[in-house]
Amino acid sequence: MKRVLFLCSGNYYRSRFAEALFNAVAAQHRLPWQALSRGLTVGLGNNIGPISPLAVEGLEHRGVSLETDPREPMQVTRAELEAADLVVALKEAEHRPLLEELFPGWADRVTYWHIDDLDCAGPAEALEKLDRQLIALLARLFKEDMAQQRREG
């Protein structure tokens, strides 16, 4: 099983949405990938509870339900970066400087998307854009997996 690691600031809204939606679609299509999510500045925001209600609502709208007792946001570690086959930070302007500061040498090894947080975009706009990015990523990974299976067998 390969791993994708989604990064945002607080591991509360965008990255949690990405993790849950990716895992639901990957499982549905039997794609040998699993997502997890972490934050770069966990504990510095004003988050209330383990996951944003906006992320939960967006997932439910897409037919994805979460466990009844979701985990608290988690800070990313170097070991998690190293264990991932793909690392996606959800907003380059926000996350590249944090990666450069916290994990020197990692900033250029990460794929960056441009998904705004709530200070710049409403949830309908941000989650729809994130949804499109995730579907494109899953389609690419599915094609790569199929090509690898053809080469091996």
CATH code at 16? Answer: 3.40.50.2300
Domain count, the chain: 1
| pLDDT higher than threshold 80 for residue 153 | no
For the chain, counts of helices (H) and of strands (E): 5, 4
**More confident call, 85 vs 43:** 85
pTM of the model: 0.94
Domain that holds residue 9: 2-152
pLDDT in tens, 70-94: 999 999 999 999 999 999 999 999 9
Segments in 5-122 forming alpha helices (H):
14-28, 53-61, 78-83, 92-102
